[in-house]
Amino acid sequence: MPMPRPRRAFLQTLACAATLGAPLAALAQPARLRVKVFPGAQNLAVFVAQERGLFAEQGVEVDLQFTQNSNELRTGLAAGAFDIAHAAVDNAVAMRESAGADIAIVMGGDSSMNEFFVQPEITEVAQMRGRTLIVDAPNTAYALQARKVLLKAGLKTGDYTIKVVGGTFQRVGAMRDDRSHAASALNPPFSFQAREFGLRSLGRMIDLIGPYQGSGVFTMRPWAGANGAALERYLAALVQGLRWGRMPQNKDAALALLGRRLNLSPTITALTYDALMEPNFGLAVDSRFDAAGFRAVLALRAEIEGQWGGNPPSAERYVDLRWHEGALRRLG
């Protein structure tokens, strides 16, 4: 009996796709992923992957959402309100330790790119005594970096006030509008806006306290186990986007994209791009995870928060890079 025409046509399409090397994912329904990020330049790879169709090429559809603060991000991820988070990976550690969440950090990102900014009349960290440090959350990530800077200057908790304000984009505005907000950790492009507002940098965090694994990608481990193929393709698209953004011949296009997506002036866009490309400070090549930087994250939490009796656990408790490794193999 002759093969029905629709089935024959479908099999011919599959054969043609295989011959041309087209990914089978392109013939299937894209996996829809809900992704939540903080606004900022650390999202360059996400922006590129969206603009250049790299997510679609990898067979995923991304619903990109922005978070106001880390508490919103952590509670939303744990509750299943979205699938994947981009943020300081210490948030994943906090989820595991404070709420017992079964999280997995699946990819790296950057050093945090933070600087310790203060009001212009402050010329040294010790002058923060009796002043106010503004943070996103008082016991995670970049707040711990800032508290370590203060501790190195001899200032303990109680020698200054900690005030919760929100994400970096909110903190830079708060410092501009209210001089009682004396200090905060700020990263690009907001660190360059801070300079325009007349705020003073007392140094980069990597210079003040050492290496640090800042932004990264994390998700709930059961979700990753059930959606590993889609997660791997998502990470592959991010790596493709980052590789494209790092190519010198694409610099002008990357600048235009950053400026448009973040509503930046040409001057701040150029400064931000240069910071993103700076080795050991900006975006890590292929978003590779910084193991030494993550040990520093755990050590900082142990020291500042007194967690684990001051003895940080091993990274394996929080990190699972198999999907990132698969993404790199996929790209060749």
pTM: 0.88
In which element (H, E) is residue 196 found? helix 190-196
Collect all residues with Cβ–Cβ distance below 8 Å to 125 and sequence separation of at least 6.
116, 118, 149, 150, 152, 153, 155, 202
CA distance 318 to 106: 9
Amino acid at 136: D
Which residues are registered as beta bridge partners of 217? 86, 107
pLDDT digits (tens, 9 = 90+) for 65-110: 999 999 999 999 999 999 999 999 999 999 999 899 999 999 999 9
Q: Where are the domains of the chain?
A: 30-111+213-331, 115-208
Ramachandran bin of 166, using left for φ above 0, alpha for ψ from -120 to 50, beta for the remaining angles: left
Distance of CA 85 to the CA centre of its chain: 8
pLDDT digits (tens, 9 = 90+) for 104-128: 999 999 999 999 999 999 999 999 9
- Helices (H), ranges, 201-290: 205-208, 221-226, 228-246, 251-262, 266-277
Name the token pair of 147.
């508290």
Quick check: do 30-111+213-331 and 115-208 share a fold? Answer: yes
CA distance 106 to 180: 39
For the chain, the helix, strand and coil percentages under 3-state DSSP, each to the nearest 5: 55, 15, 30
Ramachandran bin of 273, using left for φ above 0, alpha for ψ from -120 to 50, beta for the remaining angles: alpha
The residue-averaged pLDDT of 183-192 equals 98
pLDDT digits (tens, 9 = 90+) for 290-330: 999 999 999 999 999 999 999 999 999 999 999 999 999 99
* CATH of the domain spanning 30-111+213-331, picked from 3.90.45.10, 3.30.930.10, 3.30.70.20, 3.40.190.10: 3.40.190.10
Residues 212, 90 contacting (CB under 8 angstroms): no
Name the token pair of 22.
């087209």
Tell me the pLDDT band of 38, cut-offs 50, 70 and 90. Answer: very high
Alpha carbon of 307 to those of 246, 287, 296, 303, 310: distances in Å? 38, 28, 14, 7, 6
* CATH of the domain spanning 115-208, picked from 3.40.50.10680, 2.102.10.10, 3.40.190.10, 1.10.760.10: 3.40.190.10
Alpha carbon of 143 to those of 32, 90, 251, 278, 332: distances in Å? 33, 11, 32, 23, 38
Q: What is the DSSP-derived secondary structure letter of residue 52?
A: T
pLDDT digits (tens, 9 = 90+) for 237-292: 999 999 999 999 999 999 999 999 999 999 999 999 999 999 999 999 999 999 99
Q: What is the DSSP-derived secondary structure letter of residue 89?
A: T
